[in-house]
Structure 1
Amino acid sequence: MSRIGKHPVPVPAGVDVQVKGQDVTAKGKLGSLSLRVIDEIEVTRDGNVITVKPRNESRRARENWATSRTLISNLVKGVSEGYSVNLEINGVGYRAAVQGKELVLALGYSHDVRYAIPEGITIKTDKPTSVSVSGADKQKVGQVAAEIRSFRGPEPYKGKGVKYETEVIVRKEGKKK
């Protein structure tokens, strides 16, 4: 029995969740998200909770039981609270700025890196060395943050580059004389 899958997903006030067959749609103050659950999983809504259980004891149903529950939980939390990932930029002359619908990054290359901000994602730069990526879709927020980090990942000798705020860079010792 799945330890995660058996817990019901609470629906907070202000969030409208519709369950029609295998489609789950959540609407809240941050927008609307939908998810299609596989056929082996049964989703039901009882008042302010959503329960997920397998239709049969097949291997695929047991594998996707907790995954489906977590995806629905992320859907509900995303439209009510949203998700946010913070990035830090370290290095002399490295900076970021939002210009219209683009994030412009100066990362030590001969040209500025321009990143088009996707639909449903908000990027803020409070300081030139910090970038905040936020939105309702957890997967999309994480993907955008990973793409921004990939332009110049942190290097282990001086720690220069783009890193997650919570990331710890293991530093290496330089050359010895």
Structure 2
Amino acid sequence: MSRIGKHPVEIPAGVQVTLADNLLTAKGKLGELKAVVSDDVDVVVESGKVVVSLVEGNKRSRQQWGATRTQVANLVAGVSNGFTKELEINGVGYKAAVQGKEIVLSLGFSHEIRYPIPAGIEVKCEKPTSISIKGADKQQIGQMAAEIRAFRPPEPYKGKGVKYAGEEILRKEGKKK
């Protein structure tokens, strides 16, 4: 069983963490993030650390312990450093571009796909075949990357489609004569 919950979360310089009722708020140079903390665990902010501990006699407390600690760590890391997700586009004529507040994707369909960029997220396309998504909220960045990838997931024969940077595509052998 994982014991990630017993490690306290260090608060870096320039980040303020406050706990009011069950709402944990982290403020830093990249913005402000909030998370609701479960009643099943005890969260204490003390001397530059956030400590998540178990509530005795509560079975659900052990289930929420590591998840809550990881959520707190993601809030602190997000407002101090931020998170980045990279996507690669493979295929003849497949490309992406940022126009205003939306991404325009040409993925082999008869029409362009226009995906609106949510507030608080920065998207760059240095090359027409790469997309870089950056922001403070790890969940929001991962969700956006997954939705863009779902428009044209990579296929196993030629590898065409949208994939995460570094993702290995299992390739299949084509039909033989």
Give the TM-score category using the shorter length. over 0.9
* Cα displacement string for residues 104-136 of structure 1 (whole angstroms, at most 9, x for unaligned residues): 000000000110111111111000000001110
Q: Once the 2 structures are TM-superposed, how far is the Cα of residue 5 of structure 1 from its aligned partner? A: 0.5
Contact 1:2 1:62 in 2 (8 A): no
Partner of 1:23: 23
Partner of 1:46: 46
1:128 partnered with 2:131: no
* Cα displacement string for residues 50-85 of structure 1 (whole angstroms, at most 9, x for unaligned residues): 100122231111100110000000000000000000
Calculate the TM-score normalised by the size of structure 1.
Answer: 0.97
SS of the aligned residue for 2:6 comes to coil
Q: Alignment length, in residue pairs?
A: 177
Partner of 2:110: 110
CA distance in 2, matches of 1:67, 1:18: 19
Give unmatched runs, 5+ long, in structure 2.
Answer: none
CA distance in 2, matches of 1:20, 1:13: 21
Q: What is the root-mean-square deviation in Å for CA atoms of aligned residues?
A: 1.0
Alignment of 1:13-162 (within 5 A): 13-162=13-162
The AA in structure 2 aligned to 1:15 is V
* Cα displacement string for residues 10-42 of structure 1 (whole angstroms, at most 9, x for unaligned residues): 000010111123211000011000111111111
The AA in structure 2 aligned to 1:134 is K
Q: Once the 2 structures are TM-superposed, how far is the Cα of residue 2 of structure 1 from its aligned partner? A: 5.4
Contact 1:22 1:42 in 2 (8 A): no
Give unmatched runs, 5+ long, in structure 1.
Answer: none
Partner of 1:176: 176
